[in-house]
Amino acid sequence: MIYLPVVDRIAVSCTCKLLRARSLAMGELWSKVAIQTSFPVFNDRRAAMLQSRAAQLATACTLLQRPRPTLPTYFLGSMDISNWSQAMTQLMGTVVEHATLLCLHAFVLRVPSRFDTHLREFATTDIPGLYSLLRLLPREEDWMRFLSSIMLPAPRLETLQVAAWVYPSNRISNAVVLPRYLLGGVSNSLNRVILRGNLCLSLGGYPAFSSLTMFDWIPCPATISTHQIDDMLLHMPLLEVLGLRIELLVDDGHDANARVHRRLRSVLLELDDIDPDDNTTLPVRLFQERTAPETRYISVDLIRDGLSPHPFGAWKDLPEPLCNPESLHIVNGHLFAYGPQWRVVAPCAARNDPPLADADMFKHLVALTLSEQLWECASGAAPFPDAPYLRRLCIEIFPCCGPWRAGGETEGIFVAAAQMETPWRTPALEELELGFSPAGLTCFRIRVGCTVSCRDGGVLALSDVSLFVRSSLVFDLDRLKRISLTGVRAIADDEPGDAYLDLHSLTEDLNITSTWSNELVDLGRKWQWRMSDDADASAPTAEPGFHAGGTRPLPVFTAEDGLLGNFL
């Protein structure tokens, strides 16, 4: 519109105002409404502006109550709770009364004392970008004051999502009880509760929440007993998805009244720094007994607490079948193991905890993704035990020269290919993918014996790939069905045409692309947003909103999800 004359721009503005007024008056045209604080609310003016929008939407909801059910209203808010005012209280009251989905993310706008007096005055005004420089994590008392200010019931609330991060980041021992009027009041419409962060939030009792179908309770108490879990499941008969973080599970003995919960189909456990001597397997076995084998899906996240490394053997100590994967991914210091009805995530230091020496683990393996530094061929021997059912192999490769991050050197797959005497037996192999790392190139190969030398990555010699396939792998097919080379920016062969034809003779489908591997990108995102107790490192502070809880496959709803209807 910048190129339009002033008269035309005025006409467009009048038309937009008229269209907005007509759309509010004709509520029957609406199906969903999403109120999102694109810019965080940190002063009374913004709160009043958003409150007027909420009031207009409430009017539209009232109009729609006559011909059909209440209009779904979604509120995703990010706001300053340090200086909570009456205007903000009225805003939350208006929104909560009409919302069916409520997502809360709070911050604190604190101006350091060394700032100039004039800047301190500007901090509470509407200066774009200034809030992001001055935002901090709230304290526990800020959250308690904020939650106690929401005085209206939420009779239509179906989904509640709260990211309760506090400063300091140490785990708070006393749980903060969420207001009962925020959790649906006397109605039974609330069916999804997602609690995140390091502030322990509590529902204040389970009997009132018999309608819940999803309960993701990340900041639950560090110590929980089997009786408490049984009591939770007993009073939530409709529960389908349950997420818990457990540091210590106290075994109260077998409960005679415990039963199999056939509706509970997904259990997501974060086992935080549990020593194998403290029964790492107890939480998993408990839910194996409490769920139906034909419908359950169990996800276990073994978390490393601080600098104390979690023993890799804890994964192998888990009960069957969680230690015999069909799909295994080891990248960026984390291990992702998958089976038909289970999933395990664990920290994995490639040099200190070699996870690929167990022959039993390869008996059922169908897909394997690993970083290049794990491909170690001592004395020319095969790097891993035989994998009779392996169909897909993906290797994350790195630049060809430079020191190893720990001060030593590593050969890499192309250098090792020329020295390998016993290739790896993978009779069922069909697909091979070699992809440069999309998540920061931080480790390297030495240049000796490698055709191409580069520090930046993305430069590859096709002759190296052909040598690797011929000398490092043994498979039954005459040619692989597919070879994919991803993240490749340039080919370094002296005769690229001949090298291409030679490599193409080893596969039915050869794909060379400069784009990153979708699989490696997805794995990079999983470990990048891994949540921990370190709120300063893990809490989403750069942008208002919510991020998925690390590796945990639980939904975090956005306004776009609401408009598209992508809810459970």
| DSSP letter for each residue of 324-342 | S-SEEEEETTEEEEEETTE
SS3 371: strand
**Going by C-beta distance under 8 Å and a sequence separation of 6 or more, which residues neighbour residue 46?**
39, 126
Mean pLDDT of 28-47: 65
Entry field: residues in the chain: 568
What CA–CA distances, in Å, run from 161 to 77, 319, 372, 401, 453?
10, 32, 39, 47, 50
Q: Specify the range with the lowest mean pLDDT, choosing from 120-134, 428-442, 471-485, 501-515.
A: 120-134
Residue with more model confidence, 566 or 288: 288
Asked if residue 168 has a cis previous peptide bond (ω within 30° of 0), the answer is yes
Predicted local confidence at residue 271, as pLDDT? 79
Distance, in Å, from the CA atom of 222 to the CA atom of 174, rounded to the nearest integer, reads 11
Distance, in Å, from the CA atom of 224 to the CA atom of 332, rounded to the nearest integer, reads 32
Predicted local confidence at residue 563, as pLDDT? 42
Contact 479, 431 (CB under 8 A): no
Mean pLDDT of 462-474: 90
Mean pLDDT of 292-309: 68
Is residue 10 assigned to a domain? yes
pLDDT at 509 over 90: yes
Q: Are strands 135-136 and 101-109 parallel, antiparallel or unpaired?
A: antiparallel
Residue 124 in tokens: 């509470």
Mean pLDDT of 513-530: 64
pLDDT at 65 over 90: no
Is residue 49 assigned to a domain? yes
Predicted local confidence at residue 248, as pLDDT? 76
In degrees, to the nearest 5, what angle opens at C-alpha 294 toward C-alphas 290 and 296?
50
Is residue 376 assigned to a domain? yes
Residue 138 in tokens: 């709230």
Predicted local confidence at residue 504, as pLDDT? 93
Buried b (16+ CB within 10 A) or exposed e, 158-170: bbbbbbbbbbebe
pLDDT at 356 over 50: yes
Phi-psi region of 494 (alpha: psi -120 to 50; beta: other; left: phi over 0): alpha
pLDDT at 429 over 90: yes
Percent with pLDDT over 90 in the chain: 9
Q: Model confidence at 446, in pLDDT bands (50, 70, 90)?
A: very low
Mean pLDDT of 110-126: 45
Q: Specify the range with the lowest mean pLDDT, choosing from 6-20, 314-328, 530-544, 546-560.
A: 530-544
Residue with more model confidence, 41 or 298: 298
| Nearest CA-CA partner of 143 in 217, 224, 197, 207 | 197
Mean pLDDT of 305-332: 68
Residue 245 in tokens: 């973080």
Residue with more model confidence, 360 or 441: 360
Distance, in Å, from the CA atom of 194 to the CA atom of 96, rounded to the nearest integer, reads 16
The residue written with tokens 């359950």 in the block is 296
pLDDT at 517 over 80: no
Predicted local confidence at residue 205, as pLDDT? 65
Distance, in Å, from the CA atom of 99 to the CA atom of 190, rounded to the nearest integer, reads 11
Is residue 203 assigned to a domain? no
Is residue 221 assigned to a domain? no
Q: Specify the range with the lowest mean pLDDT, choosing from 19-33, 286-300, 372-386, 443-457.
A: 443-457
Question: Do residue 437 and residue 378 come from a single domain?
Answer: yes
Question: Do residue 56 and residue 174 come from a single domain?
Answer: yes
Residue with more model confidence, 259 or 446: 259
Residue with more model confidence, 157 or 177: 157
280-284 contacts: CB < 8 A, separation 24 or more? 280/314, 280/317, 280/318, 281/317, 281/318, 281/319, 282/226, 282/249, 282/251, 283/244, 283/246, 283/249, 284/318, 284/319, 284/322
Is residue 288 assigned to a domain? no
Predicted local confidence at residue 24, as pLDDT? 63
SS3 471: helix
Question: Considering 151, 169, 198, which residue would you say is the last residue of a domain?
Answer: 198
Question: Do residue 401 and residue 334 come from a single domain?
Answer: yes
Predicted local confidence at residue 439, as pLDDT? 47
Question: Do residue 68 and residue 6 come from a single domain?
Answer: no
In degrees, to the nearest 5, what angle opens at C-alpha 136 toward C-alphas 144 and 92?
45
Question: Do residue 85 and residue 186 come from a single domain?
Answer: yes
pLDDT at 282 over 60: yes
Question: Do residue 37 and residue 18 come from a single domain?
Answer: no
pLDDT at 214 over 60: yes
Q: Model confidence at 231, in pLDDT bands (50, 70, 90)?
A: confident
Q: Specify the range with the lowest mean pLDDT, choosing from 40-44, 166-170, 360-364, 549-553.
A: 549-553
Mean pLDDT of 448-470: 71
Is residue 558 assigned to a domain? no
Q: Model confidence at 523, in pLDDT bands (50, 70, 90)?
A: low
Top-confidence range, 28-42, 388-402, 533-547: 388-402
Question: Considering 508, 524, 540, which residue would you say is the last residue of a domain?
Answer: 524
- Mean residue pLDDT of the chain comes to 69
Residue with more model confidence, 49 or 16: 16
Residue with more model confidence, 316 or 396: 396
Q: Specify the range with the lowest mean pLDDT, choosing from 56-65, 274-283, 428-437, 559-568.
A: 559-568
User: Taking the CB of residue 34, how many other CB atoms lie within 10 A of it?
Assistant: 17
Question: Do residue 80 and residue 1 come from a single domain?
Answer: no
Distance, in Å, from the CA atom of 203 to the CA atom of 180, rounded to the nearest integer, reads 8
Question: Do residue 469 and residue 507 come from a single domain?
Answer: yes
Contact 76, 37 (CB under 8 A): yes
**Distance from the Cα of residue 267 to its chain's centroid:** 16
Question: Do residue 186 and residue 331 come from a single domain?
Answer: no
**Going by C-beta distance under 8 Å and a sequence separation of 6 or more, which residues neighbour residue 135?**
40, 107, 108, 109, 541
Predicted local confidence at residue 288, as pLDDT? 84
Q: Where are the beta strands (DSSP E) in 67-153?
A: 73-80, 101-109, 135-136
Mean pLDDT of 131-159: 67
Question: Do residue 13 and residue 108 come from a single domain?
Answer: no
Q: Where are the beta strands (DSSP E) in 444-534?
A: 459-460, 473-474, 482-486, 490-491, 510-512
Number of domains composing the chain: 3
The residue written with tokens 């059912």 in the block is 389
Mean pLDDT of 386-409: 68
Bridge partners of residue 298, in order along the sequence: 267, 342
Predicted local confidence at residue 372, as pLDDT? 81
Q: Which domain holds residue 133?
A: 31-198
**Going by C-beta distance under 8 Å and a sequence separation of 6 or more, which residues neighbour residue 545?**
76, 78, 105, 558
Mean pLDDT of 178-204: 68
Is residue 418 assigned to a domain? yes
Question: Considering 137, 163, 198, which residue would you say is the last residue of a domain?
Answer: 198
Q: Model confidence at 466, in pLDDT bands (50, 70, 90)?
A: very high
Question: Do residue 2 and residue 78 come from a single domain?
Answer: no
Question: Do residue 452 and residue 484 come from a single domain?
Answer: yes
